[in-house]
Amino acid sequence: MKHPILIACTAALAACNKGPEVDVKNASVGEVVQQVRESGAGATISPGRWESRVTIVDIQMPAGIPPQFAAQLKKRMAEAGDHTVATCISAADLKKPTPSFLAANTKNCRFDHYTMSGGKIDAKMTCTAPQGGSMTMTTTGTYSSDSYETTGTMIVSAGGMGDRTTKTHTESHRVGECTGDEMNARNKEVGQ
């Protein structure tokens, strides 16, 4: 499930001191990354191993889905979403973040807005699928150089089927130096 990972990566990138500010509207993921680079926002985050606990708070299914299917899907999503993600953030990542650092799929996504300042983050990103439908993700929360906490909402619209809404809560902390098992596996669960 990519939404919690997006929140973890976005918030981890934003976890800096209260000095730099980023405030952009109607921007591509690349444009937001450029603003983050230019502001120096990534410069004061503590590199190392970050562990993020992602919890699914609520799932709302479209009204037309059969109840047994909705219950089964909710159960699978809750099991997949309530986990800890380990990420290694290197000094190089912080000096020159890339678009993939903010989102797993950046090709069809734009930020409606992305604001981080004074220890707070507020972002909304909309992605469209080539086959139709869309996904809107909002993230709000607080950050510091070694921790962050966010609340996220993902709304998936799949044409005439109605919307599925998933709300998540993420808490993340820097827990030490990278161990080598985090990088290249942003969705790898700790302890696997």
**Rounded CA gap, 133 and 157, in Å?**
5
- Looking up tokens 């290249």 gives 184
The answer to whether the beta carbons of residues 37 and 24 sit under 8 Å apart is no
From the CB of residue 130, how many other CB atoms can be counted at a distance below 10 Å? 7
The per-residue pLDDT for range 33-78, each reduced to its tens digit, is 888 778 876 666 788 999 988 888 888 888 777 778 777 877 777 6
pLDDT for the residue 7: 41
Beta bridge partners of 176: 49
Written as one string, the DSSP assignment of 44-76 is GS--EEEEEEEEEEEEE--TTS-HHHHHHHHHH
- Quote the percentage of the chain above a pLDDT of 90: 23
Q: pLDDT category, 144, cuts 50, 70, 90?
A: confident
Q: Average pLDDT of 161-177?
A: 89
- Looking up tokens 């507020």 gives 122
**Rounded CA gap, 82 and 68, in Å?**
21
Global pTM value? 0.75
Copy the structure tokens of residue 145.
């150089």
Look at residues 73, 114, 80 and name the one whose alpha carbon lies nearest to residue 97. Answer: 114
Question: Which of 95-104, 123-132, 142-151, 154-163 has the lowest average pLDDT?
Answer: 95-104
Buried b (16+ CB within 10 A) or exposed e, 74-95: beebeeebebebbbbbeeebbe
The answer to whether the beta carbons of residues 50 and 87 sit under 8 Å apart is yes
Q: Is 7 buried (19+), middle (13-18) or exposed (0-12) by CB count in 10 A?
A: buried
What is the residue extent of each domain of the chain? 2-176
pLDDT above 60 for 187: no
pLDDT for the residue 89: 85
The per-residue pLDDT for range 87-128, each reduced to its tens digit, is 888 888 777 776 666 655 567 889 999 998 888 999 999 998
- Quote the percentage of the chain above a pLDDT of 70: 75
First to last CA, the chain: 17
